[in-house]
Every structure is written in C-alpha cells, then in structure tokens.
Amino acid sequence: GGSATGSGGTGGTKPYIAIVSKGSQHQFWQAVQKGATDEATAKGATITYEGPASESEVDKQLTMLQTALDKKPAAICFAALDSKAAGPLLQKAKDAKVPVVGFDSGVDSDIPVTTVSTDNIAAAGEAADQMAKLIGDSGKVAVIVHDQTSQTGTTRRDGFVNRMKEKHPNIQVVAVEYGAGDPVKSADLAKAVMTANPDLKGFFGANEGSAKGVLNALKETGKENKVVAIGYDSGQQQIDAIKSGVMAGAITQNPVGIGAKCVSAALDAIAGKTLPKTIDTGYYWYDKTNIDKAEIQAVLYK
Amino acid sequence: MSVGDLLVEMTDISKSFPGVRALDGCRFELRPGEVHALVGENGAGKSTMMKLLAGIYRPDSGTIRFKGREVDISSPRAAQDLGISIIHQELNLMGHLTVAQNIFIGREPRGMLPFMLDEAALNHNARTLFEELHIKLDPRARVSNLAVAQQQMVEIAKALSFNSNVLIMDEPTAALTDTEIDELFRIIRQLRERGTGIVHISHRLEELKQISDRVTVMRDGKYVDTVTTADVSTQSIISMMVGRTIFEEAPEVPEKRDPEVVLEVRGLSRGRVIRDVSFQLHRGEILGISGLVGAGRTEVVRAVFGADPSDSGQVLVHGRPAEIRTPTDAVAAGIGYLSEDRKRFGLALTMDVETNTCLASMASFTDQLGRINFRRTRETAISHAKSLAIKTPSIRQRVRNLSGGNQQKVVIAKWLTADTEVLIFDEPTRGIDVGAKSEIYKLLNDLARQGKAIIMISSELPEILRMSHRILVMCEGRITGELSAAEATQERIMALATQRESVAAA
Amino acid sequence: MTTPTASYRSRVQALVTGDALQRILALGALVVLLLFFSAISPPFRTTDNFTSILVATAVNGILAMGVTFVIITGGIDLSVGTTMTLCTVVLGLTVTKAGLPLWIGLPAAMAAGAFLGTLNGLLIAKAKLPPFIATLGMLNVARGLAQILSDVKPIYFEGNPEFYDVFMGKPLLGIPNVVFVMFGAAVIAHVVLTRTVLGRYTFALGSNEEATRLSGVNVDRWKIAVYALCGLFAGLAGILIGARMTSAQPSVGLGYELDAIAAAVIGGTSLSGGEGSIVGTIIGAFIISTLTIGLSIVGVPDQWKLVITGLVVIGAVWLDILRRRNRA
Amino acid sequence: MTTPTASYRSRVQALVTGDALQRILALGALVVLLLFFSAISPPFRTTDNFTSILVATAVNGILAMGVTFVIITGGIDLSVGTTMTLCTVVLGLTVTKAGLPLWIGLPAAMAAGAFLGTLNGLLIAKAKLPPFIATLGMLNVARGLAQILSDVKPIYFEGNPEFYDVFMGKPLLGIPNVVFVMFGAAVIAHVVLTRTVLGRYTFALGSNEEATRLSGVNVDRWKIAVYALCGLFAGLAGILIGARMTSAQPSVGLGYELDAIAAAVIGGTSLSGGEGSIVGTIIGAFIISTLTIGLSIVGVPDQWKLVITGLVVIGAVWLDILRRRNRA
Ligand SMILES: Nc1ncnc2c1ncn2[C@@H]1O[C@H](COP(=O)(O)OP(=O)(O)OP(=O)(O)O)[C@@H](O)[C@H]1O
Ligand SMILES: Nc1ncnc2c1ncn2[C@@H]1O[C@H](COP(=O)(O)OP(=O)(O)OP(=O)(O)O)[C@@H](O)[C@H]1O
Ligand SMILES: [Mg+2]
Ligand SMILES: [Mg+2]
C-alpha cells in the first residue's frame, strides 16, 4: 500500500524518500512499511511506500519507480523484482543524483549506495539444514513455493533444494509445487504431493501463504505431527502452529528492521555519509524453543 | 418454350431438419422473363426450397439445374456468382451500418488501393440505384433507425442491385402497404422485360393475379402442381394449397355495440411520432387501425402497452386511470400486445413451444414457492397447438425451427393463454397463409364475441375492412379520422391515410 | 400434427434436445480423465485422493453454480471470486471483531454476497451497463473493500474452532461436510433452475430479453434476482473457503472467477445465453479439479500444467460444440 | 418516408451517432482527471510526469487497439496479455539465443502474435468456440509456452543495448519513441478500421454476422483476419514492453487483457459489437494510466486504488450509456 506519511511530493523541509517495494498486499511488505514509517516519523522524514500487487509485475514496478523519480525525491529505496530490468531507470536516478538504497533481495548493480538485504539463498539453506536435522538426514521432502517467476520464489526454492543436494545427499526433494501463495490452492497441491509420496517426511513452505497451505493440508489429512512442516515468514497461523508443535519451525527475516534500516540508510546517504556496500538485516530460525525470546518476537508480525 | 430455355430447374428435391421433413421430392422450374409465384400454407416448404436455390442450405437429395447445367450451389456467394439473388422472408440487415453500406456489403467500391474503400462512390451508386427504382431513401441513414417498411425497401434495393438473372422474393410485400407494393410491382415488370426470372412467394393471393405468370403450389413439403395463373381461379389455387375449400365467412358486425368502454386513451403524445392520439375501445369490439407504413400505429400501441415511453397522455381501463409504465403494468391491467416483428419482440426462439405459450402467464402456473406446475403448462400448450393447428413435431420443438406462420400462431397462443381482456394485434396475419388467416379471422371474431376488446393494426385494407367493427385511420402520428364498418371503403381510408398536414413538419 | 406422430417425435426430440446427451458427454470427458490418471498413477486411485478431489471441487463448484445462472441469462459475472473473499472477511469481522455467534456470521456472509450481487444486478438491469464491465468494476471494488475491512491482514477464526469442524469434519463415510454442502447446494440450484419460475425466466432472459419484457415479465427485477442469487452462492463459497483456511485471507480470490466460468462452460452452459444446466456445471468443476490434482500427482511441471489446462478447456468446449452441431 | 424526413433524420443521426460526441465525452472524463490531479499534486503537473503517463499508456494502448477490433466484431480476446509476453520471449530467443539481428527479431515477435491470433480466429470462426473460451484457453497456453520457451527465466537483451534506445530514446521533444510508436499504430489502426474493407466487415460482423454471411461475405476468413490483427498488435506491445524492461519476463502479462478491454469499453466500444473507435480506445487507455499514476503520486493506499479504479471503470461506461440513451 502506498500510504504517505505527510504529503507525497517535494514540498516541505523534511527530506522525502520514495520507497518502491516488491509487494503491497502481503503482510511481509506491510511489516516493512511499518518499520519504514516508524523510522521516518522518528527521524523526521516523509516517505511514500508502494509495490505491485503481485511479485511478477516487473513492468508495473518500473512504472512505479519512474513515478517515484518524477517526484524528485531526496532518496529512493528500491526492492527490485528484476534488477537488470530496472537498469535504465537506476541510471536515470544516478544521473539525477538521487541516491538509491536497495533492499530485500537487493539490486545487483553498482548504482545503489548500499543494499539492505537478506540473503534468501542462505536463509532457505538454513531451512534445509533444519529439515535435515528434524528428519534424520534422510528421506523424502517437498517444497511448496508461491511462484516460480518471482525472485523471492526462485531464490528460496533454489536455496533449499541446492543445500539438500550439497549437504544432504540422502534427502530427496521429490516435488516442488507452486500455489500462488493461496493457502487453499497450496493445500490442495500439498495433499496431492502427499498422495503421490505417502512416505513423505517433510514440507517446506517458502512463504507465508505456502506455509499456511502446508498446515491446512496436514490438518485436512490428519498428518499433523506426522509430517515435518517448516515455514517462512511469520503471521498468526504459523506462530500458533509452531507453539503447538504442528510446525517444527520457520525462517523469518526482519521486515520491520529492513524497513527501518532502509530509511536510516537513505537519510545517511542524503547527508552524504559513506555507507557499507551491504547492510545485512539477517534472518532467524525460530521454533518452540526460542519463539518467545525478545529478539524473535521483535521480528515477528501477526 | 423447350426445357433447354429453362433458367432454373429443381427436381426431386428433399431436405430434412431434425424432426421435420421440410421438403419431400419437390420440384420447381423458372423461365427467363417470367414471374413465377410460389404458394403454400405456412410450413409448406417455400422458404426452404428457395434457400436451397440461394445456397443457404444444401439439399439432402435431388438436382438443381441452372441454364440447363447441373450445379452445386454451396454458399450464398456461389449463388450470387451464378446471378441468383434473394430477398429473405426475415430482414437481414446490419443495423449499425448505413443504407448504402448494407446494399453493397461485400461489393464495396475500392479506392486507390485495392483494400481501401471509396465511400463517396458507394453513396453515389446507392443514390443512382434509388433513382432508377424510384425509392426514396437516404443512402447515409443508419438502418437501425428506419421503420420496418423502410428496411424492407433496403432489402429489395439490395437484391435488385445485383442485376441478377434470377430474383427470389420471399414475401417481400408482407411488411409493405399498397403504395410500396405498387412501386415494387412496377419494378418487377421492368425486370421481367429484361428477361429476369422472378420467384415471388406471397400469402396475398390477390397479388398473384396482378403480377404472376405461373403459380407453383406446395403442400406439406410436397409439390402439388404448376399452373398458368390466367387459367385458374384464386379459389382453386387455395383449395390446391390447403387440400380443402375454405368458406370466407362474411364480416358480421354486431347490431348494437356494447356501451361498456374497456380501454380509453386520452391525448397520447410523443415527439413527432405520436401526436395527441385519443380513442375509446368497447367491450366485444374489433377496432381496426389503418394507415400507411410509418404512420405511427405501432408506436401508438407500444406506448399504450408501456413498451415505449410517452411524453404525455392518459390511459384508462374501465374508466379508471391506469399507471402503465412497463408492459408488466399493461398485462396486469389486462392488456396484451402481439408485435409486428415476432422474431425480435414475440418469441424466445431457443425455447420450446410450451414455454413460449406460457411465458406471458407464468404466475398462473406457479405456486407461492414459485414452483411451476408442468402438467398444466403442457396441457395448455397442447390444447392451443391443437386449436390453432400449430404445425410442429411436438410442443417441445424449439420455436426457432417453426415456419414463419407457425411462429406467429405460437405468439397468438401465448396471449390466448394470458387471457387478457384487451388484445392488440399488430399485423397479426403478416406472413400467414390463407388457411391460417381465415382461422385467425375466425378466432378474432370468437374472441370479440366472448367480450374481448380487440385492436387490430393491419396494412392490408381488405383485411381491415373485413374484420373491423370500427376503423381509425392514422397519418404522421395523428388520428385523421374514424369510420364505422358501414361507411368504410378503401377510397375513404386512403383519403384519410394520406391526409398530410399542409405544412409537413420535418 | 396427429397425436401418435407427435408423441413419437417428441420422444425423439427429448432425446436429442434434452440436456441428457450434453451431460453424458461432459461426464464422458470427466470419466476419461479419471481413468487416465488412475491408470498411469497408483497413488491417484486412492480413496484419500478422490476425497481430496471432492474437497478441492467444493469452492469452485459452488461459485460456478451461481455463475451458471448468470451466464444462462446471457450475462457474465467476473466479480464472484473477490466477492467470495469479501464475504469471508465479513464473516470474520462478525464473529471475531464483533464477537457474534457463527449462526449470525454465516447468514451475514451470505447476505453480503447477495448484496454485492444485487449491486451488480442494479448496474446491469437499471443502469444498463454491460455485465462484463459492471462486474469487472465490482471485482476491483470487492477486492479493495475486503482489504480495507480486514486492514489487509488475515482474520483468524480462533474463537470458533467448531467452524472448521462443522465444514471439514467427516462424520459420514470419511468425507468432509463441505462435499455434502456442495451437493446440497447443487440440488437446490438444480431445482431452482429447472422447476421454478426464476429458473424459467433465467432461460427466457437469455433466449430473448425483449420478447420476455413484452410478455409482461418484469425483466429488471428477475435479472437483479439472478445476480443476487449468484452473489449468494459466492457468499456460501466464502464460508467454505474460510472454514478451510480457518481464516479470512483478504488477498485470495482473484482468478477464481475464471475457473468458475470455465467450469460452467465446460459443463455445456452457452455463453450466448439460453442454455445450461447445474449438473453440467458440477461436472465441469470436477473436470478442472481432477486435472489440477492429477497433473501435480504425476508431477507435471507448472508451465506444462498451464498449457494442458488451456488445451483441455478448449477441447472440452469444442466437444460440446460438435455435439450441438450434429444435433441442430 | 419522405426525402426531407429521411435526410433530416440522417443529419441528426450524423451529429449524434457519429463517434464525435462519444469521444468528446470520454475526452472530457480524461481532462477532468488530469485537472483534478494537477490541482491537488504539484509533482503530478510536471512534464516528466506527463511523459511517464504517455510511456505508461503505450503498451496498454496498443493492446487495446487490437482488442477494439475484436470487440467491435462482437467478440472478446482474453489472451492478448499473455500473447504479448510470448512475443517478447520469442524476440528474446531470436536475438539472444539464436543471436539473430533485431530487424529479424522484431518481425518474428509480431509474426508470433499474428500466429496465436490466427489460432484464436480458427477456433472461433471454424470450430465455432465462444471467443471468451477460445481466448481463455489461449491465455493459459500462451502463458505456459512463454515460460517453457524461456525456461521460466527472464531473457536479457544484453547483446542489443540499441534495442532500449530505439524505443525508449528521446530524440524528439524529450518524449520516448514508444509514445510515437503508439500514436503511429493508432493512426494505422484508425485508417484500417474506418477506411478499409477489413474495417467495414469488422463492423458488419458485430452488427449482424448472419446477415453479413448471407450477403456472400466470407465471414470466417475476415473474423480470423481480425483476431490475427489483434495478435499482431499484441506482438507490437510485446516488443515495447520488452524494450522497456530490457528483457523478456515470462511472468508478466497476466491481467493486461482486462486493462486493454477496459480501455476499449471506457472509450465507447460496445461489447455487444458494431460500435467503437480507435480514438475512443486511446482516450480510454489514457484514462486508466492517468488514474493509476495519479493515485500513486498522491499516495492513495493500494486497497483504495482498487476501489477507485473499479468505480471509475463503472462510472466512465455509465456516462457513455447515458449519452447513448439520451441519443436513442
Ligand atoms: N432451420 C430449420 N430447422 C428445423 N426445421 C426447419 C428449419 N427451417 C424450416 N424448418 C421446417 O421446415 C418446414 C418448412 O419451413 P419453411 O420456412 O420452408 O415453410 P414456409 O413455406 O416458408 O412457411 P411460411 O409461409 O410460414 O414462411 C417447416 O415445418 C419448418 O418448421
Ligand atoms: N427505430 C426507429 N427509430 C426512429 N424512427 C422510427 C423507428 N421505428 C419507427 N420509426 C418511425 O416512427 C414512425 C412510426 O413507425 P412505425 O413502424 O410504428 O409505423 P407503423 O404505422 O407501425 O407502420 P408499420 O407498423 O406498418 O411498420 C415512422 O415515422 C417510422 O419511420
Ligand atoms: Mg417462409
Ligand atoms: Mg407497425
């Protein structure tokens, strides 16, 4: 959602930061927006925040980036759906001397002054290692991904699958299904996977919707606690499932932190400070044992 | 003439449609420079026979010879290429296009580039065509804005523009009044001089004597006989058609008309089309409305029925003002309307006879829960199908597959089922054969006797004269006069029908 | 028209024009699919899996029933998917935020659906908007509202654990109740369509609206009723999907409308109006879900699923067309 | 039926039925939008932003032109969005994988579009499938193929930097070439629709297909031609979007069909066929992009954008309907 703290536009003494993210309708992006908005109010900046309805709308995001540039912002925070596709526009920003802060999966280009990123590959790899641990390093597992055309989708899928290949040769990833992040469609697919592989040991749901799908599938087939479920991101249902043990655990990034760091980094850039090439906002593995810890609670959203 | 001179020769033609054997070993022949009338009851197979010749259907069996050569007419285009053009029973026009664009569709004059259009030439060609034919039409007018009759003239002009050597006319006069018909016949005679062979399908048998050289009679998809018009009486043609003789009962005018006024219209007006129309309709009366096509008769009754809005005016039923804004109100107030264009306004073509028969009175066939009593709908449909002699394989047949005349009977059945007190018939016998016609006349009289109040719009003066107890004549949206059955004559009616205002508006 | 021939002909007629053949045909396609998958994949031919297919059909099946009515009138409803979502959100708000009991929330959800449907109906019947546009607009409006009302966050039915059990519980032959709900709805829809005046007018509207109007039928009112009914079904679908997710997800629902329309048309409902049946629609819905699940069980990659689904939609309808052609 | 009356009517006719008024009306709506946003937001009324709006309109505008032809015939094409994508992929493969020069790749892309369009046409004209279904199927097929051919990865035009410059460069008044391409295409489309045989038959088909057929016109062939033309425009759109993204994104394109249809209908093209104009369609496309960009510049939340867009679509068409009603 593109809600504006203060009037959009160049007006006013406060520096104006335009944030173009990858999405607007998923809670993850809402959390990022929250972090950014809070930081902005704290540090006295105006921001606008928007992103395309789905993470495959590369072209629509470019229009948003273009619009952001037209607003002559003091800085831009940008989570590219496709960095190369955004190349020309980023060049424009550079020519216009508008500092660009990359975030989320980052922007592979030397234009951004810094990138506030999470390493999705490593994060999904972590999920793979945890899965291996939980199923005794052998057996069949499957992955439910939101889509195979968005960067978050592919990186998380590949991070998980490749880690299994490299580190856990006895584990087979028997299926990768794409459920559009729809908890019901994902559930139907997960059930199909279990039908095809009755001896399936574990599921990895690569985003909130997919994870929910896995949980629904297990519930509907009465396989709760029989099949290991690992999720991604947070949200009520996953948190409850982890507390009740139905879900072994999940990877979470720090969406609020990402939002906040974006804005602060942007402000530093405006102030002309030099920034590190990357600011890693990190990711966390959380499960029954640590879910109530403060630093985890801080990065979870409901 | 020897067979060699035959322009068209169709022999042992058979054609079946699901559930219907439309044509059964039929034959037909056409000589150059003759007007050959094709007659038969509704559903006899006239249109189908000619559609085969025009390349719209292919025969199941039989041969078609053109100028002695056996031909396979596979498409309308193929027919055109042979020089066969047809005026269909139903209008086939592109309403969004102009008159000229319709006439030359598929034959547009091209511009500098082969695929570019030359609109100027198009309109010019149309204008010259109209001058030749003495038709008064604006080539640039949008067809959807023309009245039925004007649209029919467009169809005629289109067919003539081909200068074909065979011209088929499937009831071209059904939508026309005498003036246009005379014009049409003048044109037909011209063509006959040129040696064009003309097929003329019509239910107006008086026309046969006027225009045709020979008559071929069909019955139930079978060939009956071909005779030289001059040699036979209309009566004998009729008996050939129906296989029986019909007694044309004289119009019986009730000695004294029932004083009870069922419907009264006061000062009904809309723009230029309806201007201050007032009249009363008595119980048990048949009120004829006559006038030239375009006089506004349909507009008036549609306004009364609530199908079209009106600027001002009042409708009273039994002396009480009735708020009629929609047809629903009208039917509730006991008024029924049979449109002049059954396909567009009368029938749900994809639905069966039963459904159409009951469509205007579903309420009476349903319980509080809205459930339909199918036994009663079926019985009703069957009884009407019998009493009106609707020619259909079953009441489950889709109305689309019935012949023109039988479709009209289904519309009538619908309103008989609705059993409204006032019945407005707009061109009720348009496209209906003599047999059915006299049945419908009988029906109208019976209904009147039963105390129904009936309005009948007709462009056929004999019909108006024969049926009406009282006649209203319209011209340019006004009622120009009222005649009692006794005083009415063709001349008087025409006088009133052409009583244009000295300062003709627009 | 002598009675013997008539009755004989009518019997022939009934055979040919009746929906019978059409259903048999769609059913044939479904059976072929089921046999095919069962043949090449042992896991497919398990009772559990057939149950999954039944469950997966429920939501789309119910949406498709409503859409069937609309399409028979010659209209279309693109808003059923997002309307469904909005209804789930409404349910969520009533039972969680407002803390009202389920037996109030469920009717509320369906009422919401009927309300949006009525709006569609008004836009189409009164304002004379083309159904495609009216409902395309409503698609966006409903989607937006669902997100606004839910503050773009899922609403969880934590307070009502029974909600899930009521619909996903398996008291009968291990088949979840949603399935029976679907078939129940189908029976009602079928009766309404074939035995009531609403159904009769639904067909009449699609066949010739003007003629129906001139027969004194209040076409506007009935048209509105049809769209309201369609919304009502969307509401029911919203309840089922809510039960399955034990939550209201404001972002799901987009794209469901196309599946629903596809189901109806595959089942022999004619987009030009005047023809269609609930039985056919249900079969159409089964064809779609069987395909989706079958393909993922045999492990067909996603991009190929798209191609195959596309081809099946085309193929199934083509089959139906050929059947009609041989008939007429 | 006297000449004065006739000619009088036709004159009135010309005034009212002519697209003139219709365009003026849609144009009015556009102007209102532009003024409104300019008034409330300084950054909106900058040349840069107006340029952005022009650029943002190009792709949808061109898709909408093709769709306009189809809709005027009384059909619909849901596959333009994904067809566009497939065309971009084809372009990508020819110039990168096959390493052929652009001047071969561009025609290849458009040929691909025309080909898919022809398939639609064949399914609709020959197999008699309802356009909605034929193109719905094609939507999935094209989408799947685009992903299969591209192996579900973006294809980058790194080898052809000139590609971007050719279309996004600004030799004239700082306006990117895409804009001129769009207007060029519009002029051609307008001429084809109003001055050529194809255009004439496009209207004839939509007005009364049966009558057109009975007039000896080979309706099948012309219908196929219209869908092929629509595909051709999709191909051109594919080229532009590819240039804009300097890549072929196998995933974009879904949903573009609805924007294109909305643009056409907002512009006064009637979904029941027989009426429409390219000028109107272009205006419709501008209304949509102005709205999208305007709303995001003034920072309206996404969920509200949905609601507003929905209402505008409904409102704009309603306006057009009222205009027609007053006319008739
Ligand atoms: N397309 C069709 N499908 C099924 N039956 C048809 C079709 N067209 C005509 N018929 C049937 O064929 C028979 C002949 O129809 P046709 O239209 O030729 O009669 P007609 O002589 O023209 O009657 P009318 O004078 O009423 O026009 C009728 O029984 C009609 O029901
Ligand atoms: N759709 C239309 N648009 C504009 N004018 C029309 C339309 N239909 C009819 N008119 C005009 O309205 C007047 C009445 O036409 P209408 O067809 O009602 O005449 P009518 O007396 O009913 O003749 P008939 O019933 O024999 O065709 C005529 O001037 C006609 O040209
Ligand atoms: Mg006939
Ligand atoms: Mg009339």
For the segment B74-107, what is each residue's pLDDT rounded down to a tens digit?
Answer: 999 999 999 999 998 888 899 999 999 999 998 8
Whether A187 and chain C come into contact, CB under 8 Å, resolves to yes
Q: What is the mean pLDDT of chain D?
A: 88
The residue whose CA is least distant from atom 31 of ligand 1 is: B402
> Does residue B210 carry a pLDDT above 80?
yes
DSSP 8-state symbol, A24: S
Indicate the pLDDT class of residue D10, thresholds 50, 70 and 90. very low
D136 closest CB neighbour out of C303, C307, C313: C313
> Who's near A196: CB < 8 A, 6+ residues apart?
A174, A175, C41, C43, C296, C297, C298, C299
Q: Is B374 in the pocket of ligand 1 (CB under 6 A)?
A: no
Q: Quick one: chain D helix, strand, coil %, rounded to 5?
A: 80, 0, 20
Would you state the pLDDT for residue D218?
92
> Sign of torsion, CA C108 C112 C117 C118?
positive
Would you state the pLDDT for residue A150?
81
B405 CA to middle of ligand 3, Å? Answer: 8
Would you state the pLDDT for residue B181?
86
Instruction: Compute the distance between CA of residue C70 and CA of residue C85 in angstroms, rounded to an integer.
Output: 19
Would you state the pLDDT for residue B246?
54
CB B100 within 8 A of CB B182: no
> Does residue B252 carry a pLDDT above 80?
no
User: Residue A185: which of A145, A154, A157, A130 has the closest Cα?
Assistant: A145
Question: A220 to chain C, minimum CA–CA distance in Å?
Answer: 7
Which of D248-271 are b and which e, b meaning 16 or more Cβ less than 10 Å from the residue's Cβ? bbbbbbbbbbbbbbbbbbbbbbbb
Q: Ligand 1, from B13, B17, B52, B169: best to mutate by most atoms within 8 Å of Cβ?
A: B17
Instruction: Compute the distance between CA of residue D43 and CA of residue B504 in angstroms, rounded to an integer.
Output: 61
Radius of gyration of chain B (CA): 23
> Does residue B298 carry a pLDDT above 80?
yes
Task: Give the residues across from A173 on adjacent strands.
Answer: A141
C 142-201 residues with CB below 8 A of B? 195-198, 200-201
B368 CA to middle of ligand 1, Å? Answer: 39
Would you state the pLDDT for residue C272?
85
Q: Which residues surround ligand 4, an ion (CB under 5 A)?
A: B 298, 340
For residue C151, the tally of other CB atoms under 10 A from its CB is 11
Instruction: Compute the distance between CA of residue B404 and CA of residue B474 in angstroms, rounded to an integer.
Output: 28
> Does residue A144 carry a pLDDT above 50?
yes
Nearest CA in chain A to D243: A85
- pLDDT digit string, tens, across residues B339-367: 888 888 889 988 999 999 999 999 899 99
For residue A133, the tally of other CB atoms under 10 A from its CB is 12
Whether A62 and chain D come into contact, CB under 8 Å, resolves to yes
Question: A196 to chain C, minimum CA–CA distance in Å?
Answer: 5
The residue whose CA is least distant from atom 19 of ligand 1 is: B43
> Does residue B167 carry a pLDDT above 70?
yes
> Sign of torsion, CA B205 B210 B211 B212?
positive
CB D77 within 8 A of CB D66: yes
User: Residue B178: which of B89, B289, B292 has the closest Cα?
Assistant: B292
- pLDDT digit string, tens, across residues A16-39: 999 999 887 778 888 899 999 999
Q: Quick one: chain C helix, strand, coil %, rounded to 5?
A: 80, 0, 20
Of all residues in chain B, the percent with pLDDT exceeding 90 is: 54
Indicate the pLDDT class of residue B501, thresholds 50, 70 and 90. low
CB A102 within 8 A of CB A49: no
Question: Which residues in chain A are contacts of C244 at CB distance < 8 A?
Answer: 183-184, 187, 216, 220
Which of B311-333 are b and which e, b meaning 16 or more Cβ less than 10 Å from the residue's Cβ? eebebbbeeeebebebbbbbbbb
Between residues A141 and B445, which one has the greater pLDDT? A141
Q: Identity (one letter) of the amino acid at C59? A: V
Structure tokens at D38: 């300019």
> Who's near C297: CB < 8 A, 6+ residues apart?
A192, A193, A195, A196, C37, C41, C43, C44, C49
Would you state the pLDDT for residue B36?
95
Instruction: Compute the distance between CA of residue D160 and CA of residue D153 in angstroms, rounded to an integer.
Output: 18
Would you state the pLDDT for residue A12?
53
Would you state the pLDDT for residue C322?
81
C211 closest CB neighbour out of B346, B393, B394: B346
> Of B139-153, B454-468, C7-21, C137-151, which range is least confident?
C7-21
Q: Ligand 1, from B14, B16, B20, B203: best to mutate by most atoms within 8 Å of Cβ?
A: B20
Whether C152 and chain A come into contact, CB under 8 Å, resolves to yes
Once rounded to an integer, what is the mean pLDDT over residues D248-267? 92
User: Residue C72: which of C262, C277, C263 has the closest Cα?
Assistant: C277
- pLDDT digit string, tens, across residues B393-430: 889 999 988 887 788 889 999 999 999 999 999 988 87
Structure tokens at C99: 């803390």
Between residues B450 and C189, which one has the greater pLDDT? C189
Would you call A237 and C156 a contact, using CB atoms and an 8 Å cutoff?
yes
Beta strands B422-426 and B335-338 are: parallel
Question: Which residues in chain C are contacts of A255 at CB distance < 8 A?
Answer: none
- Secondary structure of residue B222 in the 3-state scheme: strand
Q: Is B424 in the pocket of ligand 2 (CB under 6 A)?
A: no
Nearest CA in chain B to C272: B350
DSSP line for D288-322: HHHHHHHHHHTT--HHHHHHHHHHHHHHHHHHHHH
Indicate the pLDDT class of residue C17, thresholds 50, 70 and 90. very low
Would you state the pLDDT for residue A107?
73
Whether C153 and chain A come into contact, CB under 8 Å, resolves to yes
Indicate the pLDDT class of residue B487, thresholds 50, 70 and 90. confident
B136 closest CB neighbour out of D2, D17, D213: D2
Would you state the pLDDT for residue C153?
86
> Does residue D296 carry a pLDDT above 50?
yes
C12 CA to middle of ligand 1, Å? Answer: 19
Question: C122 to chain B, minimum CA–CA distance in Å?
Answer: 17
DSSP 8-state symbol, B3: G
Would you state the pLDDT for residue A5?
41
- pLDDT digit string, tens, across residues A248-285: 999 999 999 999 999 999 999 999 999 998 898 889 99
Would you state the pLDDT for residue A136?
94
- pLDDT digit string, tens, across residues A120-133: 899 999 999 999 99
Once rounded to an integer, what is the mean pLDDT over residues B212-216? 94
Between residues D118 and A115, which one has the greater pLDDT? D118
- Secondary structure of residue B220 in the 3-state scheme: coil
Would you state the pLDDT for residue D1?
34
Would you call C314 and D129 a contact, using CB atoms and an 8 Å cutoff?
yes
Question: C143 to chain D, minimum CA–CA distance in Å?
Answer: 7
Between residues B432 and B188, which one has the greater pLDDT? B188
Would you call C245 and A1 a contact, using CB atoms and an 8 Å cutoff?
no
* Helix locations, C128-196, DSSP H: 131-150, 161-168, 177-195
Would you state the pLDDT for residue B43?
79
Test the C interface: residue of A173, A182, A200, A208 with most C CBs within 10 Å: A182
The residue whose CA is least distant from atom 27 of ligand 1 is: B404
Would you state the pLDDT for residue D115?
98
Indicate the pLDDT class of residue C61, thresholds 50, 70 and 90. very high
Would you state the pLDDT for residue A8?
39
Instruction: Compute the distance between CA of residue B139 and CA of residue B424 in angstroms, rounded to an integer.
Output: 34
Helices D197-214 & D47-72 angle (0-180, nearest 10): 30
Q: What is the mean pLDDT of chain C?
A: 89
Once rounded to an integer, what is the mean pLDDT over residues B111-123? 90
> Does residue B71 carry a pLDDT above 90?
yes
Q: Ligand 2, from B137, B142, B146, B425: best to mutate by most atoms within 8 Å of Cβ?
A: B146
- pLDDT digit string, tens, across residues A202-241: 999 999 999 999 999 999 999 999 999 999 999 889 999 9
CB pairs under 8 A between A and D: 104
Whether A47 and chain D come into contact, CB under 8 Å, resolves to no
User: Residue C275: which of B400, D272, B380, B390 has the closest Cα?
Assistant: B400
Indicate the pLDDT class of residue A176, thresholds 50, 70 and 90. very high
**How distant is the alpha carbon of residue B348 from its chain centre?**
18
Would you state the pLDDT for residue C192?
96
Q: Is B43 in the pocket of ligand 1 (CB under 6 A)?
A: yes
Question: D153 to chain B, minimum CA–CA distance in Å?
Answer: 43
CB C230 within 8 A of CB C74: no
- pLDDT digit string, tens, across residues D45-89: 888 889 989 999 999 999 999 999 999 999 999 999 999 999 999
Whether D155 and chain A come into contact, CB under 8 Å, resolves to no
> Does residue D19 carry a pLDDT above 80?
no
Indicate the pLDDT class of residue C180, thresholds 50, 70 and 90. very high
Nearest CA in chain A to D295: A2
Would you state the pLDDT for residue B245?
56
Would you call D217 and B115 a contact, using CB atoms and an 8 Å cutoff?
no
**Most distant CA pair in chain B, distance:** 73
Is the pTM higher than 0.95? no
Question: Which residues in chain C are contacts of A55 at CB distance < 8 A?
Answer: none
**Token pair 């399936």 is at which residue?**
A200
Once rounded to an integer, what is the mean pLDDT over residues B457-471? 88
Indicate which ligand has the atom closest to the C-alpha of B147. 2
* Beta strands in B222-381, from DSSP E residues, in sequence order: 222-228, 261-270, 274-282, 286-291, 312-317, 320-321, 335-338
Instruction: Compute the distance between CA of residue B119 and CA of residue B121 in angstroms, rounded to an integer.
Output: 5
DSSP 8-state symbol, B265: E
Chains B and A touch, contact meaning at least 3 pairs of CB atoms under 8 angstroms apart: no
Whether D140 and chain C come into contact, CB under 8 Å, resolves to yes
Test the C interface: residue of B350, B376, B419 with most C CBs within 10 Å: B350
Would you call A178 and C55 a contact, using CB atoms and an 8 Å cutoff?
no
Instruction: Compute the distance between CA of residue A13 and CA of residue C91 in angstroms, rounded to an integer.
Output: 45
> Does residue D7 carry a pLDDT above 50?
no
Between residues A289 and C18, which one has the greater pLDDT? A289
Once rounded to an integer, what is the mean pLDDT over residues B325-352? 90
Q: Is B48 in the pocket of ligand 1 (CB under 6 A)?
A: yes
Question: C3 to chain A, minimum CA–CA distance in Å?
Answer: 56
Would you state the pLDDT for residue D326?
66
Would you state the pLDDT for residue C10?
43
Query: ipTM score of the complex?
Result: 0.84
Would you state the pLDDT for residue D4?
38
Between residues C271 and C106, which one has the greater pLDDT? C106
